[in-house]
Amino acid sequence: MIRRATFWGRVAMGAGLLLCLFIGPLAKAVDSPDDPHIQNVKGNAVTKTKVGIDYEEEELEKKSAANVEPIAGEKVKITSIILQPPAANWSFKTFPDDASNFVEVVVGLGQNSGIITQDAQNLQFWGTAPNDTADFWPVKAEGNLQPPPGGSGTLPHWSAKIRAYVVDLDTDTNNNGTIDDYEDEYEEYPSGRVVCLDREGDGEGLDDLGLIVLTPPDTDEGTVKLEAIEGGSRIKVWRDENKGQEVVLPATWSPAETPGQLYVDGIALGQVVLKLSHTPPEGDGMEDSVALYVTETISWCPDSNSYEEEAIAVSWEPNAYYPPGADGWLGHETADAVLNGVKDQGYNITICRYQDTSPVTPNDPDPDEDIGSCTRGNFNGACAGAVLHVMAHGNVGFFCGVFRNSEERIEDWIAGEPGTHMVAVDSDWGWYAKVYSQWLKDNWKPALDQNKAIVVFLPCHNAEGGSSSTLDACGGRVRFGNVGEVPTNITGADLAKLFGRMNGTQEGGMKRTAGKAYGDGSDYNDILMHGNGDNTHKWTTLCPAPNAVFPTAAPGNRKGAGCIIFDTYMNDDISADEAVTKAAGAMPVSTRRWFGNPDAIPYLVSFDFDKRGGGTATMRANADKCRSCENHTEGGRYMDGNRVAPNGDKKEWAF
Structural domain includes residue 301: no
Cα(582)–Cα(446) distance, integer angstroms: 42
Q: What is the pLDDT, as a whole number, of residue 5?
A: 31
Claim to verify: residue 143 and residue 228 sit in the same structural domain? no
Structural domain includes residue 305: no
Closest-CA residue to 566 (of 461, 640, 492): 640
Structural domain includes residue 176: yes
Q: What is the CATH number of the domain that holds 266?
A: 2.60.40.1700
Q: Which of 495, 521, 538 is the last residue of a domain?
A: 538
Claim to verify: residue 341 and residue 430 sit in the same structural domain? yes
What is the mean pLDDT for each group of 10 consecutive residues in the chain (655 residues)?
Answer: 29 26 28 25 28 25 29 34 36 35 32 32 34 36 43 39 63 96 92 96 94 90 96 98 96 97 98 94 81 98 71 83 58 90 82 64 53 87 92 93 87 80 86 94 95 95 94 97 79 95 97 98 94 93 98 92 98 96 97 96 97 95 94 80 97 97
Structural domain includes residue 246: yes
Claim to verify: residue 400 and residue 457 sit in the same structural domain? yes
φ/ψ bin of 6: left (φ > 0), alpha (ψ from -120 to 50), beta (otherwise): alpha
Structural domain includes residue 596: yes
Largest CA distance in the chain: 117
Domain range holding 210? 168-295
| Residue type at 334 in one-letter notation | T
Cα(82)–Cα(49) distance, integer angstroms: 10
**Distances in whole angstroms, Cα of residue 399 to Cα of each of 274, 338, 527:** 57, 20, 18
Claim to verify: residue 371 and residue 471 sit in the same structural domain? yes
Claim to verify: residue 66 and residue 121 sit in the same structural domain? yes
Are 245 and 239 in contact by the 8 Å Cβ rule? The answer is: yes
Cα(545)–Cα(13) distance, integer angstroms: 62
Q: Which of 538, 560, 580 is the last residue of a domain?
A: 538
Q: What is the pLDDT, as a whole number, of residue 307?
A: 52
Q: What is the pLDDT, as a whole number, of residue 148?
A: 46
Claim to verify: residue 14 and residue 138 sit in the same structural domain? yes
Query: Can you give the pTM of this predicted structure?
Result: 0.77
**Distances in whole angstroms, Cα of residue 105 to Cα of each of 90, 127, 624:** 19, 4, 51
Structural domain includes residue 302: no
Number of Cβ within a 10 Å radius of residue 443? 20
Kindly state the DSSP code that residue 90 receives in the 8-state scheme: E
Structural domain includes residue 355: yes
Claim to verify: residue 225 and residue 140 sit in the same structural domain? no
Residue 579 half-sphere exposure toward CB, CA atoms < 13 A: 31
Kindly state the DSSP code that residue 639 receives in the 8-state scheme: P
When divided into structural domains, the chain yields a total of 4
Claim to verify: residue 420 and residue 465 sit in the same structural domain? yes
Number of Cβ within a 10 Å radius of residue 253? 15
Q: What is the pLDDT, as a whole number, of residue 430?
A: 77
Claim to verify: residue 570 and residue 610 sit in the same structural domain? yes
Claim to verify: residue 121 and residue 177 sit in the same structural domain? no
Q: What is the CATH number of the domain that holds 579?
A: 2.60.40
Task: Characterize the bridge pairing of strands 387-390 and 454-457.
Answer: parallel
Q: Which of 538, 570, 588 is the last residue of a domain?
A: 538
Claim to verify: residue 476 and residue 365 sit in the same structural domain? yes
Q: What is the pLDDT, as a whole number, of residue 123?
A: 31
Structural domain includes residue 361: yes
- Cα–chain center distance at 69: 36
Residue-wise DSSP of 583-627:
EE-SS-EEEEEEEESTT--EEEEEEEEE-TT----EEEE-TTTSB
Claim to verify: residue 174 and residue 123 sit in the same structural domain? no
